[in-house]
Structure 1
Amino acid sequence: MTRGIVAAVAAVLFAAVAAPSQAQGTIRIGELNSYKAQPAFLEPYRKGWELALDEVNAAGGVLGRKLEVVSRDDNGNPGDAVRVAEELVSREGVALLTGTYLSNTGLAVTDFAKQRKVFFLAAEPLTDKITWQNGNRYTFRLRPNTYMQAAMLAPEAAKLKKKRWALVYPNYEYGQSAVATFKAMLKQLQPDVEFVAEQAPPLGRIEAGAVVQALADAKPDAIFNVLFAADLSKFVREGNTRQLFKGREVVSLLTGEPEYLEPLKDEAPTGWIVTGYPYYAITTPEHKAFHDAYVRKYKEPPRLGSVVGYATIRSIAEGIRAANSTDPEKLIAAFRGLAVTTPFGRISYRAIDHQSTMGAYVGRTRLVDSKGVMTDFTYIDGARVLPDDAEVRKLRPAE
């Protein structure tokens, strides 16, 4: 046998032996997020997806293969997010992308997914544009967007029958989107409403004293707040000091999330109408199973970020299983209408706009044992507050 024939036979035998090994390789998921910039939400988020990953892999993985998450930090910067996404796809060979926290980084990766034709499940960014104005076939989103959460809060705001409203929000895509939607919805429900003041400090750089004083000077009857994280803490503390909230109703996006409410301790606001996550009082079977597993693993209760991280990996596992593939086009087809069980119950990803029907809890804040909690809360199914197909077609570009 000649040397060439021997080499050829050896190559064939090697390929035959290697093929099963390659087929059993892990399914790599590229995950990027602002871990350093937003640790309050994203440390629990990481724990949530790690728990889901452990559970999926302990049950045999997906399609007979284990899932592997390759995670990178995007520094809360859109340019860095695109660079990291490219690295994950080109160098790490991931099958799909997920993650992002800030709306501007989420939009940057949404566009990247479109350009590179890679599947992207946006976990946390809330701007409407991700699934509507800037939506594309490769991008899906888990969390209820600003439109959905504003639609949950606007009816509660209208019931207050307050005429003069002030607005405060971080001056970037998320804040701008949330306030624009809230104003439009409240105006529709209460035509005589007036918006008498707006304060839009840069994200993470609020001058709380000046902001609070400007709002107080406008003498509003009520306030709509969209601040979160450190900005929220500074705003609440300064507002308490200057008695901005005394005798005024406050409606506030995200403030009921324990990541932002609990650090305020005995300074936590009381009586605010908020969206959030009362993990200590949800008794549904799906939530109890998640809560107990999370506490067993981490010896601490979950946060909303934990739910988002967990539901993200669960969604990806179900999507790959339904597609029987990691091919982007097959994943798109599988995710359109995909149903997933999450700690908040059963959700689905709408075919019309790729938005999930995950909802949120709406209630009032209260101080209990020097800790802010949510009381009188109700879970609002996201499907109830999403626009119909005809409206979505006006909002979302045709594919």
Structure 2
Amino acid sequence: MMTIDRRSIGAWLAATVFAATFAGVPARAADPIRIGEINSYSGIPAFTEPYRKGWQLAVEEINAAGGVLGRPLDVISRDDAGRPADAITAANELVSREKVDLLTGTFFSNIGLAVSDFARQKKILFVAAEPLTDAMIWEQGSRYTFRLRPSNWVQAAILAEEAAKLPAKRWATIAPNYEYGQSAVKVFKQILSEKRPDIEWVSEQWPPQGKIDAGAVAQATLATRPDAILNVTFGPDLVKLVREGNTRGLFRDRQVVSFITGEPEYLDPLKDETPEGWIVTGYPWQSVDTPEHDKFLAAYQARFNDYPRLGSVVGYATIRTIAAIIERAGSLDTEKLIEAGRGVEVETPFGLITFRPADHQSTLGAFVGRTTVKDGRGVMVDFTYRSGADYLPDEATAAKLRRPD
């Protein structure tokens, strides 16, 4: 009978522990990269549900191809319900309890700014997906925040370029009374007034977001007899404004220039009530004809049996951005991620974009065109794609607009 002394048992146990420890190294190396994602899923589902599908598609494609740095992506998502306080609670939980490697997401500009400030305090990377306020990258910009979507400045500059061609001199504005609406009106007025010093601003209406009294807003605007109107409302507020405006003749014989109205998220609910001839930014998914978009469209429709909205593109491009930054950094160290994000190039359904080193703003652009009704649905026609690189202030100017890091 074989006997084993205590010394042999000790040696065997030590060898076993060493082997288990050594064997565990590759397993840890393949642990997922944890991405904390926050968005207003219950607050603005028309945009954020397609956005969720977009980032899910990107995660699935990247993981099927071997992940990033040999590790799969794992998105841990939270709903902020459209409230900044809930977003900060979610961010804190994701960082402290879930131990995420970085943060991403947000829709409303005030929420994006709150999460950006949180990221600055916690020294963690934040890739903002949707918020449009210019403060995100300039006045309240942070080295820890990068922003994907074309800013209010870019969209206002694109729309003002078209508005300046109109004969209209008397302008009214209608915008939700929070950061996004205020920022959009401010920059549009600035740029259009520079192009057309003869412009007169005759009215401003500031309904609360999500609670517009559309009849009162339409009547008050009508009373000032504008030649043209800038609209910044979206979602259910836009539907109400269009209906009341049509009933009261607000849009009759007037030009309307409108932020983001051409996005399917906001055109679809209007159906055959879609106004004719509004100048809008948006996403004419049915008619975009490029190899990058064709590939994305085919993959999206195959995966979800649905057509993409702009939110789908944003969600998809956000995850592609994160993957590109991590790949370039070769690390999850925050400082290395920040350095890698400056100047990183990302393939998107709208083509190749770059994140500018000076302000961490991407050069993603927007489609601009006019609205019409086709087969009972609102669509964009006569559109062109404008790159954000052609409308952003140069990087030296942008750097002066940012607060010191």
Aligned to 1:338: 344
Aligned to 2:83: 77
The one-character-per-residue Cα deviations of 1:282-320 (angstroms, maximum 9, x if unpaired) are 000000000111111111110000000000011111111
Secondary structure in 1 matching 2:164: helix
1:169-188 to 2 correspondence within 5 Å?
169-188=175-194
Structure whose alpha-carbon radius of gyration is higher? 2
Is 1:52 the counterpart of 2:72 in the alignment? no
Match of 1:98 among 98, 101, 104: 104
Is 1:308 the counterpart of 2:314 in the alignment? yes
Between the aligned partners of 1:71 and 1:18, the Cα distance in structure 2 is: 28
Moved over 2 A (4+): 1-15
Structure 1 portions without partners, runs of 5+: none
1:66–1:223 distance in 2 versus 1, CA, 3 Å: same
**TM-score of the aligned structures, taking structure 1 as reference length:** 0.98
Aligned to 1:226: 232
1:55-134 to 2 correspondence within 5 Å?
55-134=61-140
Using the aligned pairs only, state the percent identity. Answer: 60
Is 2:356–2:395's contact at 8 Å kept on the other side of the alignment? Answer: no
Between the aligned partners of 2:115 and 2:62, the Cα distance in structure 1 is: 26
The one-character-per-residue Cα deviations of 1:44-67 (angstroms, maximum 9, x if unpaired) are 000001111111011111111111
Aligned to 2:208: 202
Is 2:50–2:312's contact at 8 Å kept on the other side of the alignment? Answer: yes
Aligned to 1:285: 291
The alignment of Structure 1 onto Structure 2 pairs a total of residues equal to 399
> Could you tell me how far 1:365 is from its partner in structure 2?
0.4
Between the aligned partners of 2:81 and 2:375, the Cα distance in structure 1 is: 36
Aligned to 1:386: 392
> Could you tell me how far 1:6 is from its partner in structure 2?
7.5
The one-character-per-residue Cα deviations of 1:254-276 (angstroms, maximum 9, x if unpaired) are 00001001110110111000000
Is 1:365 the counterpart of 2:371 in the alignment? yes
> Could you tell me how far 1:4 is from its partner in structure 2?
8.4
The code of the aligned residue for 2:320 comes to: R
Is 1:244 the counterpart of 2:250 in the alignment? yes
> Could you tell me how far 1:13 is from its partner in structure 2?
3.7
Between the aligned partners of 2:271 and 2:294, the Cα distance in structure 1 is: 25
Match of 2:157 among 139, 151, 158: 151
Match of 1:348 among 351, 354, 359: 354
Aligned to 2:41: 35
Between the aligned partners of 1:78 and 1:178, the Cα distance in structure 2 is: 20
Is 1:266 the counterpart of 2:235 in the alignment? no
Between the aligned partners of 2:108 and 2:232, the Cα distance in structure 1 is: 14
The code of the aligned residue for 1:102 comes to: F
The code of the aligned residue for 1:89 comes to: V
> Could you tell me how far 1:23 is from its partner in structure 2?
1.0
1:7–1:137 distance in 2 versus 1, CA, 3 Å: farther
Secondary structure in 2 matching 1:250: strand
Aligned to 1:20: 26
The one-character-per-residue Cα deviations of 1:339-374 (angstroms, maximum 9, x if unpaired) are 011000000100000000000000000111111100
Between the aligned partners of 2:12 and 2:125, the Cα distance in structure 1 is: 43
The code of the aligned residue for 2:43 comes to: A
> Could you tell me how far 1:7 is from its partner in structure 2?
6.9
The one-character-per-residue Cα deviations of 1:204-254 (angstroms, maximum 9, x if unpaired) are 000000000000001000000000001101001111111110000000000
Between the aligned partners of 1:290 and 1:324, the Cα distance in structure 2 is: 26
> Could you tell me how far 1:393 is from its partner in structure 2?
2.4
Secondary structure in 2 matching 1:159: coil
Between the aligned partners of 2:206 and 2:22, the Cα distance in structure 1 is: 62
The code of the aligned residue for 2:38 comes to: L
Q: Which moved more, 1:60-69 or 1:354-363?
A: 60-69
**TM-score of the aligned structures, taking structure 2 as reference length:** 0.96
Between the aligned partners of 1:336 and 1:231, the Cα distance in structure 2 is: 37
Between the aligned partners of 2:318 and 2:242, the Cα distance in structure 1 is: 31
Structure 2 portions without partners, runs of 5+: 1-5
